[in-house]
Amino acid sequence: MTTTYLSVDEICEFLGETEAEPRSLIQRIARRLGPVAMEALLDAVTSIEAQGGLEAPSTGQRRTPGGGLFALTKAGLHPYSARQKTPAPPRVAWAEALATLPPNLQKGYAKVKTTLVGRPKETAEVDNYVVLQLEAAPPESLPTGLPLPPTQATLWTVFVAKKQWQTVAPALRRDPEDKLVLDGKPCVVEGKAFLFVTAVTTPNLSRAKRAAQQAAV
C-alpha cells in the first residue's frame, strides 16, 4: 500500500498562501520536517482552526492558517519537532526494485573505480601478476529510501601486478592484522566480479609513509 502526501503547492493552496515569501518558507519547512511530520503539522493547524485559530500576541488578531503553521513550527509545538526524525518509509526489496526498472532506460557513461579492503587467505603467482580472492559482505548503512541490497556476499577475484605485490607482501608477513587496500578497475563477466588493481597499499605502510613525510617537513 502506497501513501500519498500533499505536495508543497497543495499545502500552500490548503493554507491559502499565494505570496512568494510564505510559499518559500513553507517549502523549507516541508523539506526539513519530511512528509509524515508535515502531515501531522497540518492536522494540528486544522484542529486549531476548528477551535477558533491562534491569536497574534502583538495585535490580538487571529492568525491565518499559514501564520498558525509558522507559529507552531517556530515554537516547536507541533506533534513532530524538527529535532525528531521523520519515520523512514519502508525499504523496497531487491527483487521488487529490479522488477520496477524501466525496460528502455537510456545508458550514460562512467569511469568506475572500486576499493577493496581485506586480507587474502592465500595467493597464486602467475607469470607477471598475482591472483587472490576476497569475499565482500553485502553493503550496509545505505541512505534512507534505497532498496534493500542483495543478501549474498560478492566474491572478488583480484589481479595485482607482481611489482606492486612485492611492495605490500612484506608488510602482510610482518603483521598478521594488516590488510590490503586495493584500488582498481572492476568488471563483471558472466556474473563473476574481477578487480584489476591500479594501486595497492596497507594501513601500516600508509602510516609509515605519512610519518616519514612529517619527519621530512
What is residue 167's predicted lDDT score, i.e. its pLDDT?
95
CATH 2.40.50 domain range(s) in the chain: 103-216
Residue 49 and residue 65 in contact, taking contact as beta carbons nearer than 8 Å:
yes
Instruction: Indicate if the pLDDT at residue 108 is higher than 60.
Output: yes
Q: Which three cell numbers stand for residue 35?
A: 512528509
In 3D space, the residue among 109, 136, 133, 108 whose CA is nearest the CA of residue 122 turns out to be 133
Taking only the tens place, the pLDDT of each residue in 1-12 is: 445 678 888 888
Q: pTM for the complete prediction?
A: 0.58
User: How far apart, in Å, do the first and last CA atoms of the chain sit?
Assistant: 62
Residue 67 and residue 22 in contact, taking contact as beta carbons nearer than 8 Å:
no
Residue 202 and residue 183 in contact, taking contact as beta carbons nearer than 8 Å:
no
What is residue 164's predicted lDDT score, i.e. its pLDDT?
96
What is residue 47's predicted lDDT score, i.e. its pLDDT?
81
Burial class (CB in 10 A: 0-12, 13-18, 19+), 28: exposed
What is residue 114's predicted lDDT score, i.e. its pLDDT?
93
CATH 1.10.10 domain range(s) in the chain: 8-75
Q: Which H or E run contains 201? A: strand 192-201
Instruction: Indicate if the pLDDT at residue 163 is higher than 90.
Output: yes
Q: What's the fold here for domain 103-216? A: OB fold (Dihydrolipoamide Acetyltransferase, E2P) (2.40.50)
- The mean of the pLDDT values for the chain is 85
The pLDDT of 158-172, averaged and rounded, is: 96
For 8-75, the fitting CATH number among 1.20.120, 1.10.10, 3.40.50, 1.10.150 is 1.10.10
What is residue 81's predicted lDDT score, i.e. its pLDDT?
46
CA-based torsion, 62, 66, 69, 71: positive or negative: negative
Taking only the tens place, the pLDDT of each residue in 22-33 is: 888 888 888 888
% the chain with pLDDT above 70: 90
- Measured in degrees and rounded to the nearest 5, phi and psi for residue 201 equal -155, -175
The pLDDT of 120-133, averaged and rounded, is: 95
Taking only the tens place, the pLDDT of each residue in 36-94 is: 788 888 888 888 887 777 877 777 788 888 888 888 887 665 544 444 455 556 778 88
